[in-house]
Structure 1
């Protein structure tokens, strides 16, 4: 069987060996099989195995750690089913992680087994290392870590090394792409770019600017690209309109990929640029509770976290701190990229805030979210800025 969770082309029948929850009910019946449609491919495989008792259910329950990693990695909406799977999987990751993951956690300086593991830690530290293998080299290295193979220590070191290379390369490509995008261009072909890192770069740029972006690179004589659009837009709909000129395409509402021949690239680039530059996206509203950081205790925040796991479809509670006029912008870290806002002894952390220093300094207030950090064995609350209110 082939297990997939992408939206199939409407009207195109799938092979009988393909298991895809989107084919279980017509799209005109959105309420049917909604939970299944929100699963990532790993979740589809797990649910199929559970439904047909392909393995003892006790053993399947112990494998929800893999489902949790995949669900968070693919930014799937945290519906009640996904939330339950991720919560159970994160409990396993926190208490009894697999041998290879335990080694990776240790090398990354993540909390020891038995300590709480957060969605943010997985998405910002662990998952990028696991994904780096397939992006920069061969996915076998990540599989070795997940399975706890005999050479697991060597594989863990390789993951960390590959992720550092990915970070460096992604930063270089981001700077090149942002320079072109600043001129009003939404579609870029990088002749020397490795295609494996483009999805992460495109996601970061789209998230930071709120603008749709398509990045592409040459692969095996053709061109492969990745498309990211902001909330309210439809990446699959954009590519569907260009399908006659594409060799392959697919994905999700906000993230999709495509392949095109060299001969058709100029036509695709023109039409894709026109579609993205004319895209009308409504600005999303942000809801926050007016509350000062010192009013939030670590105990109350832990209680709020029982509403999690947080992520796509289940955002964390956010809070608003109004400006009083005595706040100071201070450097954070050694590289000069980050800022901390000193608000009378309480400090808000603005990661990569140096690029937005003027907006942060002149803001009427800041929308922030608490997070639990572990320093020298002790838990403490940090306050991370998500928005400057101007």
Structure 2
């Protein structure tokens, strides 16, 4: 691990902010590091308000989108809400369809079959619309590159409104409206929305046009917060406002489907959404069909929602089992082919389940820490999921290999592509070449970015209470990471867990200072570093531990090393 300590912020600004807010210097430093330097900025950070959302009509084509939907309703046209099969896509479809259905009856939903149709807008989906007398398709979380498909729909008398957040290609589809804050010609002030976020801006615009009160939009925010967490978009700016209020909805009045996935959990955080809700919603599209997720997210009957959730739980169990098997096979393939010295990981088996190759790519990236692609057979072609390491743009790297690719799309850290089987070896060679030429070698060692060096004395209940209010955490606003030097174990350090892989101890920094509990997941191998009162440095985040009704602050280790 590379330990990188962020530069200390300007002390004059820190002192001024500490005075204005009546807080200690350690907290003030963290705030200034995150770009918060005034009372007003701090207020917006700690108490995000819906009124600070941008005007949706600032987005290119928003006016056209609203007009076309109003026209469809006035003419009693059939509308199809179309979205991708992942969490961002299915939450988007649930959001848009339920909002429209509440106001207008002729609304249907469509999620493409991952295996029959693949990612994004499909000819099959357009044919379905034509067969069912549908004249308007609202596509969410996909469509920005569907030039030919949109043209095909036009020939059949079907209009498209596209709500996407992926990077456009050189050409924009000839749809009635293309809402995408990443468009070159879009001056919308915030371009990090997820697909469901762009969908939310469209319903916000419709609401505004109809002079509906702001509260009308609140029940949809649990879906938006779920998509923000699952799609790993930055939790800054508008996303922070949406995630903050969405989590409040999840904790106070969630929709039946989300509630049935969470069970009895209280004080649900974005982490719970990412690790409990998102994998299950995703499992529907991975193992069966994304429409199951939409059914769950739009169901208003508690008993039916519970049944849907049980069904989805089974899909998730199947997903976990497939994921474990394929990850093991992929690891064996890398070792057998002596590919551990490469700068990229590219593996393929025609039998791997297409629904889990993205998860497997993430697991392999964790193990070998390099840009990774996992391929499987998909009809006549090969399909792959790509994952990257922090700081390296895998989408750009794929751009450099496009002579060997049929189609691709995605983000900086995650992408998908298809190619002909005959191009697999050429692509594999080219991808290694492109990455070798462009990657900074230090990015191939995982980095721990440390916000600040503090002493154990700084960790007071008040300090932690304020720190908790930095949430929701995510890219752009990660949970603060601290470094403390010269710690010693009080003598009870041991390995814990079923296979003794975790490290547990209690530490002090000086004889008269506080003793604090420590847990280090998967750090059991470092037990020798703390034995016999050796001094060590620790990088950690803060957490709470409840045991026998007592709640205490604990250090959640990321790494330790011997003190110098």
TM-score strictly above 0.5:
yes
Structure 1 length normalisation: TM-score? 0.85
Of the three residues 473, 485, 488, the one matched with 1:310 is 473
Of the three residues 313, 335, 351, the one matched with 1:160 is 313
Instruction: Supply the distance in 1 between the matched residues of 2:184 and 2:206 (Cα, whole angstroms).
Output: 16
Instruction: Supply the distance in 1 between the matched residues of 2:535 and 2:330 (Cα, whole angstroms).
Output: 28
Instruction: Supply the distance in 2 between the matched residues of 1:215 and 1:187 (Cα, whole angstroms).
Output: 6
Structure 1 residues 316 and 19, CA gap change in structure 2 (3 angstroms): same
Partner of 1:25: 185
Of the three residues 232, 252, 265, the one matched with 1:110 is 265
Bigger shift: residues 45-54 or 251-260: 45-54
Please list the CA deviations of residues 321-364 of structure 1 after superposition, one character each: whole Å capped at 9, or x if unmatched: 33545366533333444333443664322223357777898994
Partner of 2:224: 67
Please list the CA deviations of residues 281-332 of structure 1 after superposition, one character each: whole Å capped at 9, or x if unmatched: 3445622433466753455323222222111111121122335453665333
The equivalences for 1:131-146 within 5 A come to: 131-146=282-297
Of the three residues 179, 194, 203, the one matched with 1:49 is 203
Structure 1 counterpart SS, 2:362: helix
Instruction: Supply the distance in 2 between the matched residues of 1:7 and 1:360 (Cα, whole angstroms).
Output: 48
Structure 2 counterpart SS, 1:23: coil
Structure 2 counterpart SS, 1:307: coil
Q: Tell me the number of residue pairs that the alignment of Structure 1 and Structure 2 aligns.
A: 377
Partner of 1:330: 494
> Is 1:349 paired with 2:513?
no
Structure 1 residues 105 and 324, CA gap change in structure 2 (3 angstroms): same
> Is 1:224 paired with 2:377?
no
Of the three residues 311, 335, 341, the one matched with 1:184 is 341
Structure 1 residues 337 and 224, CA gap change in structure 2 (3 angstroms): farther
Structure 2 length normalisation: TM-score? 0.61
Q: Which has the larger radius of gyration?
A: 2
Please list the CA deviations of residues 199-239 of structure 1 after superposition, one character each: whole Å capped at 9, or x if unmatched: 12222432454321111111112111111121221111111
Partner of 1:29: none
Kept after mapping to 2: 8 A contact 1:78/1:310: yes
Structure 2 counterpart SS, 1:103: helix
Partner of 1:101: 258
> Is 1:370 paired with 2:524?
no
Structure 1 residues 285 and 335, CA gap change in structure 2 (3 angstroms): closer
Structure 1 residues 80 and 363, CA gap change in structure 2 (3 angstroms): farther
**Cα RMSD, aligned residues only:** 2.9
Instruction: Supply the distance in 2 between the matched residues of 1:149 and 1:205 (Cα, whole angstroms).
Output: 39
State the 1:87 CA deviation: 0.4
Instruction: Supply the distance in 2 between the matched residues of 1:52 and 1:92 (Cα, whole angstroms).
Output: 21
Structure 2 counterpart SS, 1:163: helix
Kept after mapping to 2: 8 A contact 1:25/1:33: no
Instruction: Supply the distance in 1 between the matched residues of 2:360 and 2:219 (Cα, whole angstroms).
Output: 33
Kept after mapping to 1: 8 A contact 2:488/2:530: no
Instruction: Supply the distance in 2 between the matched residues of 1:201 and 1:145 (Cα, whole angstroms).
Output: 26
Instruction: Supply the distance in 2 between the matched residues of 1:213 and 1:277 (Cα, whole angstroms).
Output: 13
Please list the CA deviations of residues 156-194 of structure 1 after superposition, one character each: whole Å capped at 9, or x if unmatched: 122222223322322333333334445235111132211
> Is 1:121 paired with 2:272?
yes
**Structure 1 unmatched runs, 5+:** 27-31
**Structure 2 unmatched runs, 5+:** 1-160, 509-514
Structure 1 residues 66 and 188, CA gap change in structure 2 (3 angstroms): same
Instruction: Supply the distance in 2 between the matched residues of 1:378 and 1:89 (Cα, whole angstroms).
Output: 29
Kept after mapping to 2: 8 A contact 1:363/1:389: no
Structure 1 residues 158 and 339, CA gap change in structure 2 (3 angstroms): farther
